Each structure stands twice: as C-alpha cells, then as structure tokens.
C-alpha cells in the first residue's frame, strides 16, 4: 500500500510541504492553525512561500549558488536532474518546474490524535493561480489510486466536493509494511478537496470535514487556541520579519495517542505510559519553534522552545542548567573552529539519578546511595567514591573546544577536541586522578609541561590509523580538568600565548547578540568547519566514487555529481558566516537560539 502511494504521487505532495516548510498568508488571511482541530501533536508550516523564495535569494547561500565560479558545477547538477524531471512528468502529468511552482501562499502539514479522535493527518497548500496544474496532478493521482485497488467515493460537505479513497489493506505479515491489523482504520483512507485557492489533502472524509468545519477561522476549538502552541509561537517571533518556518511537536501526546489508536489494550504499552509521571516526563508538553532568514539583523535565526510544566523533577533534574555570565576564557585561542560552554547543576543531576534509581528499586529510597557506597569499596578497585571523590569536586561549568579537522591517510576525518570540566577543589580532584592513574595495570603515561602534569592514554594502533589521533591527554590546569585529543591541545591551554577567541572580531560581533546570562553559549566558524570536507570532495577522492557516478546512497535515478568541478574553497568562503547560539531558562521551560548575523554593509 505505501509503495503504491509513493509511486502514484503522495510522497511528492508531502515532500512539497516539507520543502517549502512553515508559514503563509492564505487567500482569506486565515492561517492553517485556525483551521486545525485542537488535538494537533505535529505541526509544520511555511506561511508565505513567495516571501521565503525572495528572502532565500537574498541570503548568502542564495547568492553563492548564483556565483559564476559555480556555474559549471551547478550546470552539471541541473543536467542530472533532467532525467528525474522527465520520469516525474511521465508519472505526475506535470513537469517538475510546474510542480515546484504550485505553492502560492501557505503550506502546512499536521498530525492530530486524541483520546476520542482517530489519528489524522492533513496537508493544506495554497496554490494561488495554479489551479489547472493542481487539477492535472489530482487527476493523475486519482487514476493511480483506483488502478491499484482503492475504492473511490465522492462526498458533498458544506458545499464542497470531497474525493475519498478507501485503500486496499496490506495482507497480514507483509514484510514491507507490517501486519495489516495493526494499522488504524483511519490511516487506510486518503482524500482531498479544493476550496478558494487551497488544496487540502488528508486521511479521509472525517478528517477533511474537521477542516471544513473550521474554514472561516471562527471556530471556538482550534489548534490556534492551544495555550502551549501560542506561547511557543510568541517566543519564536520578534525579529522584525515573519518567520519562514514554524513547527510544533507534542512528543508525549503523539506517543500516547498512537499507542491508544493501535492497541488500547496493550498491557506493555500502557505500563510504559504509566511510568511517565514517575520519570517526570509527563511535564514535557511540547517542543517547537521558528526559523527565519534575512531579518533586519540576522542572516538566519532559529528559536526553539521546550515547554515544561512545573514542578520539574525526576529525569528532568538531569536537565537543569542555571543561567550565568559566560565568555571564552583567555586560553581559548582565536583560531578555534567551535566553542561551547554550559553551566550544569550537578547537584540536581545527582539528585535526579538517585530518585530515578530508587523509584525503580523495590528497596525504595536510599538504594542508589548504598550502591554507590558499595562501588567505592570494591576490593581491587581504585577505591574512589563517584560523588565524594569526583562530582563534588566539579563546579558544573563544561566547555568544549574543537580545532580544525584534518584528513587521515585512510580517507577519514580526524577532529581535534578539548573538553574542560570546571573544578572547584583542585587538590581533591588531583588526588582522585592520581588514584586512577596508579591503579595496577594502568596504561597511562605521565610527563611535565611548564610545571603542569599531563597524563596520556595511548590509543590502540587500529584506532590511531583510522582517526589519525595517537592518544588522549588529561591534566588539571587553568581551573579545569582538561581532556583532549591530541594532548598538544592541553599544552596550548597551558601556554595561553595565542590571541584569545574572546577578543576576535567575529566572536565579539556574535556575542553582542548574547544575553547577559545564559545556560549555554556556542560559537562556530563555518568556513573552518567545512574547508577540510570541501577540499576532500573537490579532490575527487571523497566520497569514494568515480566523478559523475552520483552521490552514495542514490541507488535509483542518481544525480551525477562531479565534485572536481567545484571552484577553490576561497570562492565560497566569503559566503559562510560565523554562527552563534545560546540557551536561556524560561518560566515555562527553556529557549534555544541559533543565529548568524548579516553583513555589516548591504
């Protein structure tokens, strides 16, 4: 059944909704959220496709693919797509260009489930002036469904004609689609209607009537009135331009709804759902956000919110990151490829683990503490108490620094990284580290560098050949437990004689958009991140395929790609912007922001 739908065009329609993504102004000015029922658990919308295309063309990436130096490479890709377009036209009855030109406004996709509602999915597509193209596509799609055994009915509702198809059920045990009886009946139907300048595609008449009942946007029970969705959407706005994409996901609601729809009497499933309150995971109401491009200040910016109700305990104790003032210390060099810093509440994390272990153990409270105490007294072990000798010595500040990747002899990429764990009791942690190092059979080698001790753990030969890295280094220096590969990165932090990242112009510009206090901050220099991979692609030796053979994994109608026709990296480097990000707590959870800034001059 699924293969038939894909071959006959359903996948194409769904792909279109994903390609153009969130946000749009419909002909009547009514957003899709006001036409959807309140039980939506997945929502993706692109409010204004025309505006998205316009702004994309103004973006760095849009300008990059128009660069004359890329014309030869882009031309070859377009030629390769011609065969795909020809096959598409033979199947769909319209050309690929006509298909991609269909969206004229908002394009949205939604999945909804509920205790009393069967699972439903719907795609709303504003086709603007392309009605004839849509009708041709629907005719082809309808013919394909009936030819493959679907039963068609035509239903009138609210003055609109709905085309409905009951799909043939797959035989039980079909290895490609699974057992037929496990598929909810509501998902064995598909239908559509057009009204005004909008095509609505969904799983049958019941779903489509739900949309028609809310068509004028005045219904009192809609997804748009969901307070969690409204709060997330509000947090995703405010950058001076409408987002080009908006999304929403209710993970717990989706799992509960789908489990109940498939088999409400499944004991194991209901037992698993019953543990959610114990774990505290029932407090996660939704995750959602927006993506925007070419706003007055930002080249691109995404805002994601995790909406969590209070009180937040259980497993959520593991995810507490208090906001503090953060900036790269002087030992982080300006040539850093990426930098991440977070402030983790280790006491809450330990408490969360303890509660979780105790809640699943019949011996009840105190079980986890006893297990840890017993572990610290294991005969023949290092006699280290995980909490007293390790966790209690750490501050919770975690920093990750990465250097430029390098190609290995085996064709893989090696990554230089350094993990710095903030230390609040240096002497105590040094004593713990010495216990570990002096454990009988330890392969650790010790050396001195400028008065500091560096411990090195050699990698196995096979791993060294693959990664290009020979050892893992450890040291307690600069107020941190440093863990790095190669160990020379620790030497660099001890010297701290390079220009610091915090003083670089790129970082300072990005940091100007950071809040005064944050749970996490990040910085990435995209040009450095991509250069090694780009040069490998351009060399023709990576991925391991002959020029023009197509990208690996493209087993059907591959697009021939000759990466040797790419221009020197300097051509695209000017289009790559450094990016930054941060996470801040919110009264209803946390907000994550990632962005890159626009050029200083137009």
Can you give the residue range of the structural domain that contains 329?
310-503
Phi, psi angle pair for 378, to nearest 5°: -60, 125
Q: Tell me, yes or no, whether 52 and 192 share the same domain.
A: yes
Please report whether residue 169 resides in a domain: yes
Q: What is the pLDDT of residue 561?
A: 78
C-beta separation of 146 from 190 below 8 A: no
Instruction: Return d(Cα 141, Cα 148) in angstroms, integer.
Output: 11
Farthest-apart Cα atoms in the chain, separation: 84
Are 53 and 167 part of one and the same domain? Answer: yes
DSSP 495-550: H--SPBGGGSHHHHHHHTTS-SSBSEEEEE-HHHHHHHHHHHHHHT-SSSS-TTS-
Contacts of 511 (CB under 8 A, 6+ apart): 327, 502, 580
Whether 438 and 378 share a structural domain: yes
- What CA–CA distance (Å, rounded) separates 348 from 243? 36
- β strands within 324-393, DSSP E: 338-343
Does 563 map to a domain?
A: no
Whether residues 93 and 228 share a domain: the answer is yes
Residue bearing tokens 């210390």: 329
Q: Count CB-CB contacts under 10 A for residue 196.
A: 11
Residue 440 domain flag: yes
**How many Cβ atoms sit within 10 Å of the Cβ of residue 533?**
13
Indicate if the alpha-carbon torsion angle 256, 258, 260, 264 is positive or negative.
negative
Residue 495 sits in the same domain as residue 363: yes
- Look at residue 237 and tell me if it is in a domain: yes
Apex 302 CA angle, 566 and 414, nearest 5:
45
Please give the tally of structural domains in the chain: 2
- How far is the C-alpha of 220 from the C-alpha of 224, rounded, in Å? 10
338: phi > 0 → left, psi -120 to 50 → alpha, else beta; which?
beta
Please indicate, yes or no, if residue 314 is contained in any of the structural domains: yes
Looking at the domain assignment, is residue 552 inside a domain?
A: no
Q: 327 and 196, same structural domain?
A: no
Residue ranges of alpha helices (H) inside 31-118 are 49-58, 60-64, 71-92, 96-100
- Two tokens at 406? 């390098």
Looking at 486, 503, 520, the residue that finishes a domain is 503
Contact 503, 461 (CB under 8 A): no
Report residue 146 CA to chain centroid gap.
38
Angle at 236 between CA 235 and CA 238, to 5 degrees: 85
Q: Where are the alpha helices (DSSP H) in 275-334?
A: 276-279
The last residue of one of the domains, among 253, 274, 295, is 274
- 237 and 318 together in one domain: no
pTM reported for the whole predicted model:
0.85
Distance of alpha carbon 10 from alpha carbon 68, whole angstroms: 37
Give the C-alpha separation, 225 to 467, whole Å.
Answer: 52
- Whether 214 and 330 share a structural domain: no
Contact (Cβ atoms closer than 8 angstroms) between residue 443 and residue 457: yes
Mean pLDDT of successive 10-residue stretches along the chain, which has 602 residues:
37 38 48 95 95 93 94 86 81 87 93 78 94 93 91 92 87 52 72 95 93 95 96 89 94 81 65 69 91 94 94 82 96 95 95 85 85 85 88 96 72 78 95 85 89 89 62 94 93 93 95 97 90 84 54 50 90 93 96 91 44
pLDDT score, position 76: 84
Query: What is the full DSSP assignment across 542-593?
Result: SSSS-TTS--TT--SSPPP--GGGSPPHHHHHTTPPPEEEEEEEETTEEEEE
- Distance, in Å, from the CA atom of 412 to the CA atom of 414, rounded to the nearest integer, reads 7
């Amino acid at each position: 059944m699924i293969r038939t739908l894909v071959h006959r065009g359903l996948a194409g329609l769904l792909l279109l909704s994903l390609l153009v993504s969130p946000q749009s102004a419909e002909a009547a000015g009514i957003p899709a959220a006001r036409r959807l029922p309140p039980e939506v658990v997945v929502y993706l919308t692109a409010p204004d496709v025309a505006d998205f295309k316009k702004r994309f063309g103004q973006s760095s990436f849009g300008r990059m693919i128009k660069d004359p130096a890329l014309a030869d490479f882009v031309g070859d890709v377009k030629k390769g797509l011609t065969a795909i377009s020809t096959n598409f036209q033979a199947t769909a009855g319209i050309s690929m260009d006509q298909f991609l030109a269909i969206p004229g406004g908002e394009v949205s996709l939604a999945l909804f489930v509920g205790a009393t509602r069967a699972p439903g999915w719907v795609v709303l597509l504003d086709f603007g002036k392309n009605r004839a193209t849509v009708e041709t596509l629907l005719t082809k799609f309808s013919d394909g469904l009936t030819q493959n055994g679907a039963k068609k009915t035509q239903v009138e509702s609210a003055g609109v004609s709905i085309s409905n198809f009951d799909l043939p059920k797959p035989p039980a045990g079909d290895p490609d689609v699974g057992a037929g009886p496990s598929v909810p009946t509501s998902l064995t139907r598909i239908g559509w209607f057009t009204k005004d300048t909008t095509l609505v595609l969904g799983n049958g008449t019941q779903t489509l009537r739900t949309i028609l009942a809310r068509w004028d946007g005045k219904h009192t029970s809609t997804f748009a009135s969901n307070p969690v969705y409204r709060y997330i959407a509000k947090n995703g706005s405010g950058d001076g331009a409408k987002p080009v994409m908006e999304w929403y996901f209710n993970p717990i609601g989706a799992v509960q709804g789908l489990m109940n729809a498939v088999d409400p009497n499944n004991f194991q499933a209901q037992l698993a759902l019953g543990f959610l309150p114990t774990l505290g995971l029932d407090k996660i109401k939704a995750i959602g956000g927006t993506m925007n491009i070419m706003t007055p200040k930002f080249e691109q910016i995404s805002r994601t919110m995790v909406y969590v109700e209070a009180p937040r305990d259980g497993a959520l104790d593991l995810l507490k990151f208090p906001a503090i003032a953060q900036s790269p210390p002087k030992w982080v060099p300006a040539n850093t490829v990426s930098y991440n810093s977070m402030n983790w509440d280790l006491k809450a994390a330990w408490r969360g683990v303890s509660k979780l272990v105790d809640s699943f153990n019949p011996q009840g409270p105190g079980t986890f503490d006893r297990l840890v105490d017993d572990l610290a007294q294991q005969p023949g072990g290092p006699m280290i108490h995980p909490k007293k000798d390790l966790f209690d010595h750490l501050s919770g500040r975690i920093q990750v620094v990465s250097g430029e990747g390098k190609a290995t002899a085996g064709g893989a990429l090696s990554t230089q990284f350094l993990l710095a764990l903030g230390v609040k009791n240096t002497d105590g942690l040094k004593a713990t580290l010495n216990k570990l190092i002096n454990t009988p059979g330890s392969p650790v080698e010790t050396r001195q560098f400028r008065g500091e001790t560096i411990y090195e753990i050699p990698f196995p030969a096979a791993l060294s050949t693959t990664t290009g890295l020979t050892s893992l280094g450890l040291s307690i220096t600069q107020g941190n437990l440093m863990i790095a590969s190669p160990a020379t990165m620790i030497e660099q932090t001890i010297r701290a004689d390079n220009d610091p990242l915090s003083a670089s112009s790129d970082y300072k510009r990005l940091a100007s958009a950071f809040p005064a206090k944050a749970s996490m901050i990040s910085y990435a220099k995209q040009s450095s991140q991509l250069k090694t991979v780009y040069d490998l692609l351009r060399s023709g030796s990576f991925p391991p395929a002959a020029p023009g053979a197509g990208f690996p994994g493209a087993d059907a109608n591959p697009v021939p790609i000759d990466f040797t026709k790419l221009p020197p990296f300097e051509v695209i480097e000017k289009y790559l912007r450094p990016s930054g990000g941060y996470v801040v707590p919110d009264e209803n959870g946390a907000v994550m922001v990632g962005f890159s800034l626009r050029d200083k001059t137009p």
